[in-house]
């Protein structure tokens, strides 16, 4: 293996987990964009998505069609879950201090974790393999079919999201609400509906990310949402929280940093390396890589 091949392989490794971080980071950043809430239950939505996907894969034969159904089911299920969480836990507290909502979010997170533990048990669950374990392409660098699926699905969803935000009436309403909820209301936008849709879209992306995560690492557990959620949150901050391309870039960058840190320095130090870069970025760009330089509102 030459140095260039080694680097390329490490790049692919980092990009794989980075794509999953990016999908989850989008939900954090979109919700923060419209209501300035760090939704700490978002990591748990990702975990519920992984279990929804597992449920479908246990019912259907392990095939590409089964995976597509699992992705759709997890996306839809998590979208509904996200809307429900917003309606039940956050909307009643819309005028309450920000800290109350934050604590509620942590409460929702514990509720979902324990609910899934009681439903599925505390053990690791095995996700059946749905793609041949071979690889694509020749040479010393290997990409598994599963990695290709992760790249393809993430890329498709990110492009679709960009189109939705910039080309549709809903996207325009979301951007307007993010800029100024009061003005948006004044021009006739149903702000509560927009907030609800934002939760639905962000949660659907997390749900899809959960299924991909489960398929790639073949085990899921009720506490998987915690660390992955924290990493995705970091990615959102790294890219500039509230900024959608920033979350995508932040996720991919965090994955790459972890991968290269583990590959070239030491696995023990990979989180230290990734978070040291986060601190450095925030020192020089406190609003993240793509964050706006000035405050949007007083």
Partner 1 sequence: MAPLQAAHLGQYVDDCRTEIWYTLNMADNLPHLAIAGAARICAALLFLAGCGQAEPAIRIGFAGPFTGDQAAQGLDMLEGARLAVEEAVSRGGVLPGFRIELVPMDDQRNPAQAVSVAKRLAADPNVMVVVGHLNSSCTKPASAIYYEARLLHVNPVSSNPEISRQGFDTFFRVCATDDLQGPAGVRFALEELKAKRLFILDDMTTYGRGLANEFEKAARAQGLEILGHEGIAQGEKDFSPLLTKVKSLGPDLIYFAGMFPEGALLIKQKSELEIPAHFLGGDGLFEPTLITLATPRAAEGIYLTTLGADIRQVPSAQSFVRAFEAKHGHLGAYSSYAYEATRLALEAVRRAGRKDRAAVLAAMREIQEYDGILGVHTFDEKGDTTLRTIGIYTVRKGKFQFVQAAE
* Positions in the binding site for partner 1 (CB under 8 A): 1, 6, 9-10, 13-14, 16-17, 38, 40, 102, 106, 110, 113-114, 117-118, 121-124, 126, 129, 133, 135, 142, 144, 217-219, 221, 223, 226-227, 230, 258-264, 266-268, 270
Smallest separation (angstroms) from partner 1 to the CB of 217: 4
Structure tokens at 127: 């996700």
Smallest separation (angstroms) from partner 1 to the CB of 179: 26
Q: How many residues does the chain have?
A: 298
Q: How many CB atoms lie within 10 A of CB 109?
A: 22
Q: Which is nearer to partner 1, 21 or 174 (CB)?
A: 21
Smallest separation (angstroms) from partner 1 to the CB of 215: 12
Smallest separation (angstroms) from partner 1 to the CB of 55: 18
Q: Which is nearer to partner 1, 173 or 257 (CB)?
A: 257
Smallest separation (angstroms) from partner 1 to the CB of 42: 13
Q: Which is nearer to partner 1, 60 or 102 (CB)?
A: 102
Q: How many CB atoms lie within 10 A of CB 245?
A: 17
CB of 173 within 8 A of CB of 64?
Answer: no
Q: Which is nearer to partner 1, 72 or 143 (CB)?
A: 143
Smallest separation (angstroms) from partner 1 to the CB of 186: 33
Smallest separation (angstroms) from partner 1 to the CB of 113: 8
Q: Which is nearer to partner 1, 1 or 88 (CB)?
A: 1
Q: Which is nearer to partner 1, 10 or 177 (CB)?
A: 10
Q: Which is nearer to partner 1, 86 or 258 (CB)?
A: 258
Smallest separation (angstroms) from partner 1 to the CB of 213: 8
Half-sphere exposure (Cβ direction) of 34: Cα atoms closer than 13 Å: 34
Q: Distance of CA 291 to CAs 184, 201, 241, 243, 248, Å?
A: 22, 21, 7, 6, 13
* Max Cα distance, the chain (Å): 62
State residue 225 phi and psi, 5-degree precision: -65, -25
Q: Distance of CA 183 to CAs 98, 188, 190, 191, 199, Å?
A: 21, 9, 11, 10, 21
State residue 246 phi and psi, 5-degree precision: -60, -40
SS3 annotation, 120-178: HCCCCEECCCCCCCCCECCCCCCECHHHHHHHHHHHHHHHHHHHHHHHCHHHHHHHHHH
Q: Which is nearer to partner 1, 135 or 185 (CB)?
A: 135
The DSSP annotation for 29-73 comes to HHHHHHH----TTHHHHHHHHHHHHHHHHHHS-SSHHHHHHHHHH
């Amino acid at each position: 293996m030459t140095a260039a091949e080694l680097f390329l392989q490490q790049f692919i490794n980092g990009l794989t987990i980075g794509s999953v971080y990016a999908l989850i980071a989008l939900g954090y950043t979109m919700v923060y964009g419209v209501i300035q809430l760090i939704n700490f239950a978002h990591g748990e939505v990702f975990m519920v998505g992984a279990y929804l996907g597992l449920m479908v894969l246990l019912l259907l034969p392990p095939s590409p069609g089964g995976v597509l159904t699992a992705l759709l089911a997890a996306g839809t299920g998590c979208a509904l879950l996200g809307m429900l969480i917003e309606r039940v836990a956050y909307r009643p507290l819309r005028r309450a201090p920000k800290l109350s909502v934050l604590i509620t979010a942590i409460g929702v997170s514990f509720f979902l974790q324990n609910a899934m533990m009681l439903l599925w048990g505390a053990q690791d669950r095995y996700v059946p393999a749905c793609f041949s374990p071979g690889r694509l392409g020749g040479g010393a660098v290997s990409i598994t079919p599963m990695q290709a699926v992760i790249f393809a699905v993430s890329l498709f969803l990110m492009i679709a999201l960009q189109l939705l935000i910039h080309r549709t009436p809903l996207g325009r309403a979301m951007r307007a609400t993010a800029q100024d909820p009061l003005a948006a209301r004044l021009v006739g936008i149903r702000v509560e509906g927009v907030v609800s849709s934002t939760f639905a879209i962000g949660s659907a992306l997390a749900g899809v990310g959960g299924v991909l995560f489960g398929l790639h690492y073949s085990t899921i557990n009720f506490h998987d949402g915690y660390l992955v959620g924290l990493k995705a949150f970091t990615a959102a901050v790294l890219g500039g929280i509230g900024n959608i391309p920033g979350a995508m870039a932040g996720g991919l960058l965090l994955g790459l940093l972890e991968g290269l840190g583990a590959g070239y320095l030491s696995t023990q130090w990979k989180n230290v390396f990734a978070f040291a870069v986060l601190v450095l970025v925030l020192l020089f760009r406190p609003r993240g890589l793509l964050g706006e330089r000035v405050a949007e509102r007083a």
